[in-house]
Structure 1
Amino acid sequence: MAALKDLIDHADGAVGFTGAGISTESGVPDFRSPDSPWMKNKPIPFDLFLKSEEARREAWRRKFTMDDLYRGARPSRGHLALASLVEAGRMPGIITQNIDGLHQASGVPTDQVIELHGNGTYATCLSCGIRYGLDWVRSRFEDAGDAPVCEACGGIVKSATISFGQAMPEAAMRKALKLTLSCDVFLVVGSSLVVYPAASLPLMAKENGARLVIINREPTPLDDAADLVIHAEIGQVLSEFAPH
């Protein structure tokens, strides 16, 4: 892994871009593995969630089923390695497609984690924006059997994730684009690079002059464009950057 270390050591600003693969070592299932539990508990599309009380109940049932599968998940070696790079000032931020909050749990400040697909560790009211803890949501869901509504305005309460069909968070996208165009190494970790618009960022970085590095267990559509591709276990590859 000498080539990777050399690229990181000589970078003025390396940006991390993470997908589900960085969290599998933590016990969080990814979407595309055979028999993935996500296939049995697919997120409800946003338009259906808005239209149907029954769909909202089912969305919360699936949400809590998945949460129970990886309750207690802790940051992986990959998370800890990137957190170490952020702490050392060598990585100004991490762009993530993940919703598990494990980058923050690894010690990365919240303002240095850009969550393109939201965060599944809390909920918000879609009308007034009030934030709710999942324990509050779950107690009301299990006690009444209904999807909870906002105590302040009566609006629909939803997990703070970006569902299929829901608009991408504009502020996060702007911040991600700014970070992408300011780096000289763009480090993709554990992303299949098939979900857009997030998957457009690595090529933007490359076209802007950054070195593109992809670490993923399986090949990706952008491997041919990368300066360095490593098909291996993420924790093993990044362990040399983790605190010892």
Structure 2
Amino acid sequence: MSCNYAEGLSPYENKGVLGVAERFESHEVVEEKCRTLADWILQSRHVVVHTGAGISTAAGIPDFRSPKGVWTLEKQGLKPQINISFNDATPTKTHMALKKLADIGYIHYIVSQNIDGLHLKTGICRELIAELHGNMFVEKCNTCEKQFVRNSATTSVGQRLLGTMCRGYRLNGRPCRGKLQDTILDWEDNLPELDLNMADYHSHAADLSICLGSTLQIVPSGNLPVATKKSGGRLVIVNLQPTKQDKKADLLINSFVDDVFVQVMKHLQLEIPEYSYENDPTKKINDVIEWTIHPVYVKDAKKLYDTFSKKPKKRKSDEDVLIKNEKKKQNDSSEFNSYKIDEKSASENVEELKECTANISENAEQVISQASAECI
């Protein structure tokens, strides 16, 4: 349950802006905007979707900062009335729509802040998702760093040891024998490097970023969607509350995320698939399912980044500026010195000039005298 997850985190004061009033647009306005979003999805080269807690509320999992969110109520000394367990929660229409769109290549990557495992339960490929804050249904070896799918949600938070051994093998075929730990981040924990790299590469390569159910207050997660703007891409935000990045959005939709994606899929003439127990890796009790980001995925994402992202110019430091100015002074001084006149040479040149002038004057007088004689 998200309440138990929140209670398992270390004490932390700055949980962002809480309890801001929600906004709802009319059905007609939302439908028109959904048509625009569907058109943009079809027109775009690389679509990246950023998901927050708001896409899981329809599954019975409370969010954190809405008027009825976990941390908003916590501040009032209350707890959410509806709070389903992570084990019992199933993917929403939005989760299943994203899985369908990813399968047919309409969206190309998902960056999620959610730890509820609902994306995993859709059966999505690991190559297509970064989980920046961890996953309740994923554990990681502290030795080989491989990740494995769990059949039940972990009760541990903060990347703590779970008391179980790694199920992976070394290159020589021997068991790893490392110890497994949860993947859930606590406050101030570093984000998982490979997930963050994948999210960063795809976010910069995107020409359409779609933010769903997040106020985008947490960094760096909340800043990744705007990377597309540096390359002239579009930013779409679907959320009931105002977000940190609203002013940068090309399209804002204030509506329930599920309602939006029902309309979007309708305009795309696609059906939203039903959740399938058989395709849910958390239900495959007898299988060892790895959930590790393969180095090839990172390499391919880096190629996308290099190909499509617009790299900002490197800002010169104060030290760089001082060095450049000093070099310029030295060059100017050298250039000035090269034009200095040697005093001795100058004196000799003046004497030669006087002698030359005297000769010219003497010759001129002779020519004038000769010309006068001829005239007489």
Interval containing the TM-score (normalised by the shorter chain): 0.7 to 0.9
1:185: Cα distance to partner?
Answer: 0.5
Is the 1:27–1:70 contact (alpha carbons within 8 Å) kept by the matching residues of 2? Answer: no
Q: 2:199 matched to which residue of 1?
A: 176
Task: Report whether the alignment pairs 1:201 with 2:234.
Answer: no
Q: 1:89 matched to which residue of 2?
A: 105
Q: 2:163 matched to which residue of 1?
A: 149
Is the 2:237–2:253 contact (alpha carbons within 8 Å) kept by the matching residues of 1? Answer: yes
Cα distance in 2 for partners of 1:87, 1:123 equals 25
> Counterpart of 1:162 in 2: which secondary structure?
coil
Q: 1:32 matched to which residue of 2?
A: 65
Cα distance in 2 for partners of 1:86, 1:183 equals 14
> Counterpart of 1:120 in 2: which secondary structure?
coil
Larger radius of gyration: 2
Is the 1:19–1:98 contact (alpha carbons within 8 Å) kept by the matching residues of 2? Answer: yes
Change (3 A) 1:173 1:105: same
Cα distance in 1 for partners of 2:131, 2:214 equals 14
> Counterpart of 1:199 in 2: which secondary structure?
coil
Task: Report whether the alignment pairs 1:219 with 2:242.
Answer: yes
User: Which among 39, 44, 66 is matched to residue 11 of structure 1?
Assistant: 44
User: Which among 233, 237, 241 is matched to residue 260 of structure 2?
Assistant: 237
1:12: Cα distance to partner?
Answer: 1.6
TM-score for the superposition, normalised by structure 1 = 0.76
Change (3 A) 1:166 1:127: farther
RMSD over equivalenced CA pairs, Å = 3.2
Is the 1:116–1:169 contact (alpha carbons within 8 Å) kept by the matching residues of 2? Answer: yes
1:104-141 CA-partner distances (Å, limit 9, x unpaired)? 22232122111111111133354564767465977xx9
Cα distance in 1 for partners of 2:71, 2:144 equals 29
Cα distance in 2 for partners of 1:14, 1:110 equals 17
1:151: Cα distance to partner?
Answer: 4.5
1:21-52 CA-partner distances (Å, limit 9, x unpaired)? 111111122122345456799xxxxxxxxxxx
1:206: Cα distance to partner?
Answer: 1.4
- Sequence identity, in percent? 33
Q: 1:105 matched to which residue of 2?
A: 121
Change (3 A) 1:137 1:197: closer
Change (3 A) 1:92 1:6: same
Change (3 A) 1:25 1:111: same
Cα distance in 2 for partners of 1:76, 1:135 equals 19
5+ long unaligned stretches in structure 2 = 1-33, 75-82, 167-175, 273-376
1:208: Cα distance to partner?
Answer: 2.1
Range 181-190 or range 25-34, more displaced = 25-34
Written as runs of structure 1 = structure 2, the 5 A alignment for 1:150-169 is 150-151=164-165, 158-169=181-192
1:191-240 CA-partner distances (Å, limit 9, x unpaired)? 11000011111121112221000001111011111000001000000113
Please identify which structure carries the higher strand content: 1
Cα distance in 1 for partners of 2:70, 2:247 equals 31
Cα distance in 2 for partners of 1:213, 1:136 equals 32
Range 227-236 or range 115-124, more displaced = 115-124
Q: 1:190 matched to which residue of 2?
A: 213
Q: 1:56 matched to which residue of 2?
A: none
User: Which among 91, 103, 114 is matched to residue 75 of structure 1?
Assistant: 91
| Higher RCO structure (Cα 8 Å, ≥6 apart) | 1
Is the 2:66–2:241 contact (alpha carbons within 8 Å) kept by the matching residues of 1? Answer: no
1:156: Cα distance to partner?
Answer: 7.4
The number of equivalent residue pairs is 214
> Counterpart of 1:107 in 2: which secondary structure?
coil
5+ long unaligned stretches in structure 1 = 42-66, 142-146
